[in-house]
Amino acid sequence: MYDEGYQRWRASARHLALFGEGLPDSIQPFSFVPMQGMEFVSSLLALSPGSTLVDFGCGRGGPGMWLAAQAGAGVIGVDSSKVAVADAASRQDLFPGLASARFVVADVADTGLPSGCADAVVSIDVLQLVPDPAAMVREITRVLKPGGRVVVTTWENTGVEVERFPSDIPGLFTEMSDVEVYGRPEWLPRQYAIYDAAVEADDGTDPAIADLAKEAKMIEPLRENSRRLVVTASRR
Ligand SMILES: C[S@@+](CC[C@H](N)C(=O)[O-])C[C@H]1O[C@@H](n2cnc3c(N)ncnc32)[C@H](O)[C@@H]1O
């Protein structure tokens, strides 16, 4: 479903520049976590050298590879887009500190990975997109080792009328322990600046910018009806 999008987005220098602003060039995310957010996620994961991080909805792999490389850890990325996964595999040399990297085309609710293969799990801006967030969290729990930690960035619905995002994100993690929720409203101005820049730049010549401008208009009513957050929890 995301393959056609990835073909357009990775071909647009303007789109890459908007998402990559303020981050190391290698990351090239299609997500809205700013640099201080990446550092915060890294501190919550507290990866050890040689440990294995599984990145749920890895996209083109940059955020997960950057996080693993900071600690000399390895990464296994999972995404349903074969275009994104092929890009991720071809980009691993950009992250010299990585212990290892491999990428799998699969659904985040059914990764096919062995149970307990992950020392830690990260998922950057994916949970709000999946049809069954509870199934994704069950799969995260299954692949984590006992005591292993997950860090998820997402948005939660707070309004009564707009239901694009899940409600009660912490409630998805009740089978896990040490659940912590961090509101991150300070990440939102950068996200909205990216949207505003896309709307202004959209002159019909760049399909990737047109996609982003369309998303910006769809998200507009959610600005008052959602909250930006990070959730972390441990497998019992
Ligand atoms: C907003 S992008 C974030 C990508 C990456 N985490 C990043 O930060 O650049 C969301 C990603 O989730 C993936 N995705 C959405 N639904 C999925 C599902 N059910 N199973 C696997 N991947 C999914 C998309 O293909 C896309 O790569």
Query: Could you list the pLDDT tens digit for every one of the 236 residues in the chain?
Result: 799 999 999 999 999 999 999 999 999 999 999 999 999 999 999 999 999 999 999 999 999 999 999 999 999 999 999 999 999 999 999 999 999 999 999 999 999 999 999 999 999 999 999 999 999 999 999 999 999 999 999 999 887 656 678 888 999 999 999 999 999 999 999 999 999 999 999 999 999 999 999 999 998 888 888 899 999 999 99
Residue 124 Cα to ligand 1 middle (Å): 8
Atom of ligand 1 nearest to the CA of 63: 8
Describe the strand order of the beta sheet including 226-234 as a list of residue ranges.
Answer: 100-105, 74-79, 52-56, 118-124, 144-157, 226-234, 177-183
Give the burial class of 93: count Cβ atoms within 10 A of its Cβ; 0-12 exposed, 13-18 middle, 19 or more buried. exposed
Q: 3 CA to middle of ligand 1, Å?
A: 11
pLDDT of residue 149: 98
User: Looking at domain 3-234, which CATH architecture does it have?
Assistant: 3-Layer(aba) Sandwich (3.40)
Output the pLDDT for position 55.
99
| Mutational pocket test of ligand 1: of 126, 151, 219, the residue with most ligand atoms within 8 Å of the beta carbon | 126
Q: Whose CA is nearest to atom 12 of ligand 1?
A: 57
**Structure confidence at residue 29 (pLDDT):** 98
Question: Which atom of ligand 1 is nearest to 108's Cα?
Answer: 20
Amino acid at 234: S
Q: How many CB atoms are closer than 10 A to CB 166?
A: 18
Distance between CA atoms of residues 128 and 29, nearest Å = 17
In whole angstroms, give the CA distance from residue 60 to residue 49.
23
- Long-range (24+ apart) CB contacts under 8 A made by 91-96 are 91/26, 91/28, 91/60, 91/61, 91/62, 91/65, 92/61, 92/65, 94/26, 94/62, 94/65, 95/26, 95/65, 95/66, 95/68, 95/69, 96/69
Which of 130, 22, 28 is closest to 79 using CA atoms?
Answer: 130
Question: Residue 161: its pLDDT value, please?
Answer: 58
The alpha carbon of 58 and the centre of ligand 1 are apart by a number of angstroms equal to 6
Smallest CA-to-CA distance from 76 within 93, 90, 88 is with 88
CA 179 to centroid of ligand 1, rounded, Å: 23
Closest atom, ligand 1, to C-alpha of 27 = 9
Q: What are the pocket residues of ligand 1 if the criterion is a CB atom closer than 6 Å to any ligand atom? A: 2, 29-31, 57-59, 63, 79-81, 84, 107-108, 124-126, 129-130
Q: Where are the domains of the chain?
A: 3-234
Atom index in ligand 1 nearest the CA of residue 2 equals: 25
The pLDDT value given to residue 222: 84
Q: Please give the distance, rounded to the nearest whole angstrom, from the Cα atom of residue 122 to the centre of ligand 1.
A: 12
Instruction: Give the pLDDT confidence score for residue 116 in this predicted structure.
Output: 98
